[in-house]
Chains A and B, each alone.
Chain A
Amino acid sequence: MRAFAYHAPASLAEAVAILRREGPGGRVLAGGTDLLVQMKERGTVPRYVVSLRAVADLSHVTFQTGRGLVIGSRASLTDVITNRDVRERYPIIVESAGLVGSHQIQNLGTVGGNICNASPSADTAPPLIALGAILRLHSDQGPRELPIAEFFTGPGRTALEEGEVLAEIIVPDPQPHSGGSYERYTPRQEMDIAVASAASFVILAPDGTVSHAKIILGAVGPTPLHARAAEAMLVGKIPSGGLIEAAASAAVSDARPISDQRGSESYRRHLINVLTRRTLTRAIESARG
Chain B
Amino acid sequence: MTTTELPRTVTEAPADKVTHVVIGQRVAKIEGVDKVTGKALYGADTSRPGMLWGKMLPSPHAHAIITSIDLSAARALPGVFAVITGADLPGIVARISETDLTPEEFDTPSRGKQILAWKKVVFFGQPVVAVAAVTPAIAEEALALIKVVYEPLPVVVDPEAAMRPDAPLVQNAVFTETFSGKATTPSNIAKVTELSRGNVDEAIANAEVTVSGTFRTAMVHQGYIEPQACLAEYSADGRFTIWTSTQGQFGVRGGLSGFLKIPPRRIRVTASEIGGGFGAKGAMTLEPICTLLAYSAGRPVKMQLTRSEVLRATRPAPDAVMHVTLGARTDGTLLGARAAFIWDVGAYPGGGSVGGINCGFGPYIVPAYSYDGYDVLTNRPSTGAYRAPNGPQGAFAVESALDMLARKLGISPITLRLRNAVREGDRNPSDVPYPRIGFRETLEAIENHPVWASPKATSSRPGWLRGRGVACGLWGGGVGTSMAHVNIGEDGSAVIVTGAVDLAGTRTTMAQIAAEELQIPFERVNIVQPDTDTAPFNNPTGGSRLTYSLGTAVYRAAIDARTKLKQRASQQFRCPADEVDYRDGEFWVRSDPSIRLTIGQVARSAAGSGDGPVVGTGEVTHLLRAPAFATQLVEVEVDPETGAVQVVNVVAAQDVGRAINPTACEGQIQGGVVQGIGWALTEGYVYDEQGRLRNPGLLDYRMPTALDAPNIECVLVEVPAIDGPYGVRGVGEVPIVPTPAAVANAVFDACAGRVTSLPLCGEPVIVAMSDSRTGVDRSQMVMFNLGPIPTGNSSAPESPGEEPKLATEVEDYCAEDDVAEPEIE
Residues of A within 8 A of B (CB): 1-3, 40-43, 185, 187-193, 195, 260-264, 267, 270-271, 274
Contact = CB atoms under 8 A, between A and B. Distances in A.
A185 B642 CA distance: 8
Interface stretch (B284-292, B570-578, B619-627, B697-705): B697-705
Given A189-B705, A190-B705, A267-B762, A261 B681 contact: no
Interface in B692-713: 694-695, 697, 699-700, 702, 704-705, 707-708
A195 B643 CA distance: 12
Contacts of A271: 642
A153 B702 CA distance: 28
Given A2-B140, A2-B141, A187-B681, A267 B763 contact: yes
A261 B693 CA distance: 9
Contacts of B699: 192-193
A187 B682 contact: yes
A148 B731 CA distance: 55
B646 interface: yes
Given A187-B762, A264-B763, A267-B762, A2 B137 contact: yes
A191 B643 CA distance: 18
Interface string B655-671: 00000000000000000
Given A260-B694, A261-B694, A267-B763, A191 B686 contact: no
B182 interface: no
Contacts of B704: 188
Contacts of B697: 41
Contact of B695 (A43, A192, A261): A261
B136 interface: yes
A274 B762 CA distance: 13
A274 B694 contact: no
Nearest to B760: A187
Contacts of A40: 306
A188 B708 contact: yes
Given A1-B140, A261-B695, A274-B641, 20 more contacts: A2-B137, A3-B137, A3-B141, A41-B306, A43-B140, A185-B642, A185-B644, A185-B762, A187-B762, A188-B682, A188-B704, A188-B705, A188-B707, A260-B694, A261-B694, A262-B700, A263-B762, A267-B766, A270-B766, A271-B642
B1 to A, nearest CB: 46
A156 to B, nearest CB: 15
B700 A189 contact: no
A190 B762 contact: no
Nearest to B306: A41
A275 to B, nearest CB: 8
A94 B682 CA distance: 27
A264 B686 CA distance: 12
Contacts of A2: 137, 140-141, 144
Contacts of B700: 193, 261-262
Contacts of B261: none
B307 interface: yes
Interface residues of B, number: 31
A189 B762 contact: no
B761 interface: yes
Nearest to A268: B763
B680 to A, nearest CB: 11
A261 B688 CA distance: 9
A101 to B, nearest CB: 10
Most buried by B among A1, A43, A188, A262: A188
Nearest to B704: A188
Given A41-B306, A189-B707, A261 B686 contact: yes
A41 B307 contact: yes
A1, A187, A271: which has the most chain B beta carbons within 10 Å?
A: A187
Interface in B172-193: none
Nearest to B707: A189
Nearest to A1: B137
Nearest to A190: B707
Interface of B: 136-137, 140-141, 144, 306-308, 641-644, 646, 681-682, 686, 694-695, 697, 699-700, 702, 704-705, 707-708, 759, 761-763, 766
Contacts of A270: 763, 766
A154 to B, nearest CB: 19
B49 to A, nearest CB: 23
B137 A189 contact: no
* Top 9 A-B pairs, shortest CB-CB distance: A261-B694, A267-B763, A261-B686, A189-B707, A187-B761, A187-B682, A261-B695, A274-B641, A191-B705
Nearest to A277: B641
Nearest to A264: B763
A3 B144 CA distance: 13
A270 B644 CA distance: 13
B302 to A, nearest CB: 16
Contacts of A192: 699, 702
Contacts of A264: 763
Contact of A189 (B136, B646, B695, B759): B646
B308 A41 contact: yes
A271 B759 CA distance: 18
Contacts of A261: 686, 694-695, 700
A271 B766 CA distance: 10
28 contacts: A1-B136, A2-B137, A2-B141, A2-B144, A3-B137, A41-B306, A42-B308, A185-B642, A185-B644, A187-B681, A187-B682, A187-B761, A188-B682, A188-B705, A188-B708, A189-B646, A189-B707, A192-B699, A192-B702, A195-B762, A261-B686, A263-B762, A263-B763, A267-B762, A267-B766, A270-B766, A274-B641, A274-B642
A191 B700 CA distance: 11
Contacts of A42: 308
A41 B698 CA distance: 10
A121 to B, nearest CB: 11
Nearest to A275: B642
Contacts of B702: 187-188, 192
Nearest to B686: A261
B679 to A, nearest CB: 13
Contacts of B761: 187
Contact of B708 (A1, A3, A189, A263): A189
Contacts of A189: 646, 705, 707-708
A281 to B, nearest CB: 11
A270 B764 CA distance: 13
A267 B646 CA distance: 19
Contacts of A193: 699-700
A126 B306 CA distance: 33
A68 to B, nearest CB: 33
B377 to A, nearest CB: 23
A274 B765 CA distance: 15
B53 to A, nearest CB: 12
Nearest to B141: A2
B642 A191 contact: no
Given A1-B137, A1-B140, A262-B700, A191 B707 contact: yes
Contacts of B141: 2-3
A261 B759 CA distance: 12
A193 B702 CA distance: 10
A179 B705 CA distance: 32
A42 B700 CA distance: 13
